[in-house]
Amino acid sequence: MESVRWAQWAMLRSATIMKFMEPRLTLADQWEGRCAKLTRDLKLLNQQKVEVEKKKLEADQAKSRAEEDLKSASANFKLLEKEIEDLRKPFSREKVRADKAEASLVESKEGRQELIKMAGDFVTATENALKAQILLLLPDFDVSQLGAFGTYGWARRALFIRVGLYFEYGIWLSYL
């Protein structure tokens, strides 16, 4: 009987230990579940961290490429500014020359107009002087058809008159 008692006592003792340990084992199961969940969350956070680091690395590389491109563009811009400045120098010189030439052209046009007016006045005065000479030499001659601005036919007649006056009177009209 002693062995039965011993078996009963051992079973009672293990039941008591189990009763005492059951909440702790349940708590351990809960902690194990929480630990597994935290492990999954930690793995997910590590994956996200790796992705963020990759994106950060890509962003840093893109930033460095953009900075290099900016430096290159800045250098190209400076070169283009220098080229533009080099092109502007002759252009400005040519512009000054063109402005001077334009001013000279305006002056020459004004001078030309004055010269044309003076030439017209001279031709008119010469024509009037010739008509007066012809009327002195030939008072009955009709000088209304004579003129420096007449047609070719009238110019030929004036030349014949000039030649005729030379042969008839010995006078050469130098104005015709």
Model pLDDT for residues 105-130, shown as the tens digit of each residue: 777 777 767 777 777 777 778 888 88
Domain tally, the chain: 1
Say whether 96 sits in a helix, a strand or coil: helix
Tokens of 138: 């030939």
Residue 142, domain extent: 2-169
Q: Identify the top-confidence range among 78-82, 84-88, 149-153, 172-176.
A: 78-82
Judge whether 79 lies within some domain. yes
| Residue 70 resides in a domain | yes
Q: How far apart, in whole angstroms, are the C-alpha atoms of residue 72 and residue 62?
A: 15
What is the Cα–Cα distance from 158 to 160, expressed in whole angstroms? Answer: 5
Question: Could you tell me how far CA 145 lies from the centroid of its own chain?
Answer: 65
pLDDT digits (tens, 9 = 90+) for 60-87: 999 999 999 999 988 888 888 888 888 7
Q: Is residue 27 part of a domain?
A: yes
In a domain, 10, yes or no: yes
pLDDT in tens, 38-59: 999 999 999 999 999 999 999 9
Torsion, Cα of 94, 99, 105, 108 (10° steps): -120
Q: In the block, which residue shows the tokens 């046009």?
A: 109
CA–CA separation, 166 and 61 (whole Å): 105
Q: Is residue 175 part of a domain?
A: no
Q: Residue 152: is its pLDDT beyond 50?
A: no
- Token digits of residue 69: 């491109």
**6-30 burial, b for 16+ CB within 10 Å, e for fewer?**
eeeeeeeeeeeeeeeeeeeeeeeee
Name the pLDDT band for 10 (thresholds 50, 70, 90).
confident
CB contact burial 38-47 (16+ within 10 A = b; e otherwise)? eeeeeeeeee
The string of DSSP codes covering 15-26 is HHHHHHHHHHHH
Mean pLDDT score across all residues of the chain: 78
Q: Is residue 33 part of a domain?
A: yes
Structural domain contains residue 142: yes
Contacts of 146 (CB under 8 A, 6+ apart): 127, 130, 131, 134, 154, 157, 158, 161
Lookup: tokens for 39: 């492990």
State if pTM tops 0.75: no
